[in-house]
A and B are shown apart, each in its own frame.
Chain A
Amino acid sequence: MSTPAKSALPYLDTKPQGSADFYYAVNATFRFLLRRLGEAEWRRYLEELGRGYYAPVNTAWAQGGLPAVARYWRDFFAAEPGAVVEVSECPDRVELEVRECPAIKHLRAGGREIVPQYCQHCYFCGAARAEAAGLTFRLEGGNGRCRHTYATPAAGLAPQDLAQIKEAGV
Chain B
Amino acid sequence: MNPNPYPKLHPGLNLGPAHGVAHEGSEAVLFGFWIFLMSDLIIFGILFATYAASTGPMAIAGGPRPTDLFDLVSVSIQTAFLLASSLTCGMAILAMKYGENVSRVKLWLVVTALLGAGFLTFELRDFASMMAHQGTPMRSAWLSSLYALVGLHGLHITMGLLWILTMLALIQVQRLSNKVKTRLLMFSLYWHFLDVIWIGIFSVVFLAGLV
A and B from one complex: no
Which residues of B does A touch, CB under 8 Å?
A: none
